[in-house]
Amino acid sequence: MTLYQPFLDYAIALLQNRLNLQSYPIPAGFESKQATVGKGKHQEEVLTTSYAYQTSKLRQIRAAHVQGGNSLQVLNFVIFPHLNYDLPFFGADLVTLPGGHLIALDMQPLFRDDLGYQAKYTQPILPIFQTHQQHLPWGGDFPEEAQPFFSPAFLWTRPQQTEVVETHVFAAFKAYLQAYLDFVDQAQPVTDSKYLAEIEQAQLRYLRYRAEKDPARGMFTRFYGTEWTEEYIHGFLFDLERKLALSGARG
Ligand code: DBV
């Protein structure tokens, strides 16, 4: 059992319990990808597996799980709502590298500085944030340009011990995902055309930032090459622009 497998299992089980989950297509060649890295005694298999679902309110629920031995484990899990909901993104970046663990967990806002939006989607989860932050102190250095994409309830932490990941990080992950699904339950479709246009712009802003700055690009390129990596990023991990181009071509 690898470090983030229980997180993934929990998430999929909870989603299956609470939502009417449909599968979401994963482009051929991206469901599972393996490489052998390192030399001699240091050889490791690195396996990247992908998971994707959708519902009537959630455009894409997707996970990328990288398993490469004790010092390389990643679970990147993101939920992208449909463009006619003003729901935040659920964003989890759980990363274990030789240098240690790096944990980012948030309900990433469409409109960070909008107080009405904060009242709707951040204030209700502040108690959860505070409960878990006691055990998961602020992780320090954080890219300035990424700040607009995170809420005041952003958990950002770099635990020293794996046990902290297995206990406190796992508890926080469960609580955030449950709270997110409560928001999803309550969400009503947006019909105002001005607000709809703002939501689309906010989703594209977020998506372009993440595709452009994907911190995993270097790692994936080393393991699987440039072509596979760029296609994985734009054709699966952050695929909204491609999907919009397709629906434009059809409609
Ligand atoms: N990050 C991803 C995807 C990953 C992934 C799709 C599938 O967005 C993994 C894999 N994140 C990943 C890896 C690292 C990080 C780091 C492998 C380590 C990179 C390295 O050190 O080589 C949150 N993730 C990070 C960092 C941040 C985040 C802030 C540290 C980057 C740095 O120090 O420069 N999540 C990440 C982020 C956003 C987000 C930047 C922005 C909106 O949602």
pLDDT tens string 158-210: 999 999 999 999 999 999 999 999 999 999 999 999 999 999 999 999 999 99
Does ligand 1 lie within 6 Å of residue 219's CB atom? yes
For residues 199 and 191, what is the distance between their CA atoms, to the nearest angstrom?
A: 11
Which atom in ligand 1 lies closest to the alpha carbon of residue 209? 42
- Rounded mean pLDDT of 55-65? 98
Pinpoint the alpha helices (H) of the chain. Answer: 5-18, 115-121, 126-133, 162-164, 170-186, 193-213, 217-224, 226-232, 240-250
For residues 41 and 119, what is the distance between their CA atoms, to the nearest angstrom?
A: 54
Give the number of residues written for the chain.
251
| CA 214–ligand 1 middle distance (angstroms) | 6
pTM of structure: 0.96
Question: So what's the ipTM on this one?
Answer: 0.94
For residues 62 and 167, what is the distance between their CA atoms, to the nearest angstrom?
A: 23
3-state SS class at 43: coil
Which of 77, 91, 90, 103 is CA-nearest to residue 162? 103
Query: 146 pLDDT exceeds 90?
Result: yes
Query: 250 pLDDT exceeds 70?
Result: no
Averaged confidence pLDDT in the chain: 96
DSSP 58: E
User: What is the distance in angstroms between the CA of the first residue and the CA of the last residue of the chain?
Assistant: 46
| CA 215–ligand 1 middle distance (angstroms) | 4
Does ligand 1 lie within 6 Å of residue 93's CB atom? yes
| CA 20–ligand 1 middle distance (angstroms) | 30
